[in-house]
Amino acid sequence: MFNLTTFKELITAALWSGLLAGLLLTAVQQIQVIPTLLQAEVYEENAAVSTTENSHEHQEWQPENGWERTFFTAAANISLGIGFALLIGAVMCLRGRPNNWRMGLLWGLAGYTTFFVAPSLGLPPEVPGTTAAELADRQSWWLITVLDTGFGLSLLAFAKTKTYKFFGAVLLAAPHLISAPQPEVHSSAAPDELAQSFIIASVFANAVFWLALGGLMGQFYKKDS
């Protein structure tokens, strides 16, 4: 039964889980993702200078590399972690709170599959300077993929009949049968090797984040013995 005590426990667990998972993600990004990203930004800036007559035009503010960028990255990761932790906790509350952190890992794996793996099959992580389809089209496909994957996984895991499980499998495949929106011409300022390194680093960093988030929620939000 959901009551005020359960709500407070959920908020507390989500805050701690989001904080720790967000900090862990930031640390992993500093080691793997950010160095690759910085290299790609150099190629992007060089390409922009070579194609722009006036290289001194106004640019939007962005944090400086170093502690300032790390601080804003950590703040964004922690906020993201707390939000996703609340979502995981809400589903845990509906389906039954976990017994331990190991059960939480399964929820983290489901979140990783839903919010990163499935969308990345059609729209893999891209380094700066990569051409892409219209933002609205990509956002729409991403949202459809996340919803279909989430519902599909829930039906495969919890549905009682084979018909519903089959429908869950159809939902998992549907967005990829439609295919993600792509630009007319694929091009990137960065070399292919750098783009591949960025994808691999992003896959690893997000896996660490989601598994940590699920495990932490499983530990902090586990039901009383």
Express each pLDDT in 31-70 by its tens digit: 988 888 888 888 777 766 655 554 444 456 667 777 888 9
pLDDT, residue 48, reads 64
On whether both 40 and 149 belong to a single domain, the answer is: no
Does the residue 60 lie in any domain?
no
pLDDT tier for residue 140 given thresholds of 50, 70 and 90 = very high
Residue 212 phi/psi, 5° resolution? Answer: -65, -45
On whether both 107 and 123 belong to a single domain, the answer is: yes
Does the residue 16 lie in any domain?
yes
Q: Give which of 8, 90, 12, 44 is closest to 198, Cα–Cα.
A: 44
Does the residue 107 lie in any domain?
yes
On whether both 87 and 34 belong to a single domain, the answer is: yes
Name the residue range of residue 159's domain.
Answer: 134-180
Is 89 exposed, middle or buried, given 0-12, 13-18 or 19+ CB atoms closer than 10 A?
buried
Q: Which residue has the tokens 């709170």?
A: 97
pLDDT, residue 4, reads 82
CB 82 within 8 A of CB 16: no
Distance (Å, whole) CA 111 – CA 91: 11
On whether both 138 and 94 belong to a single domain, the answer is: no
On whether both 102 and 36 belong to a single domain, the answer is: yes
Q: What are the tens digits of pLDDT across the range 102-111?
A: 999 999 999 9
| pTM across the whole model | 0.87
Chain mean pLDDT for the chain: 88
The residues, any chain, with a CB within 8 Å of residue 74's CB and separated by 6 or more, are 22, 23, 26
Which DSSP category does 113 fall into? I
On whether both 16 and 70 belong to a single domain, the answer is: yes
SS3 12: helix
pLDDT, residue 56, reads 47
Distance (Å, whole) CA 210 – CA 206: 6
Does the residue 55 lie in any domain?
no
Number of domains in the chain: 2
SS3 132: coil
On whether both 77 and 154 belong to a single domain, the answer is: no
- Up-side HSE of residue 181: CA atoms within 13 Å toward CB? 14
Higher pLDDT, 34 or 148: 148
The residues, any chain, with a CB within 8 Å of residue 37's CB and separated by 6 or more, are 127, 128, 198
Does the residue 141 lie in any domain?
yes
Token reading at 55: 């290289």
C-alpha torsion sign, points 110, 203, 117, 126: positive
CB 160 within 8 A of CB 148: no
Token reading at 151: 């519902």
pLDDT, residue 55, reads 46
SS3 127: coil
On whether both 143 and 167 belong to a single domain, the answer is: yes
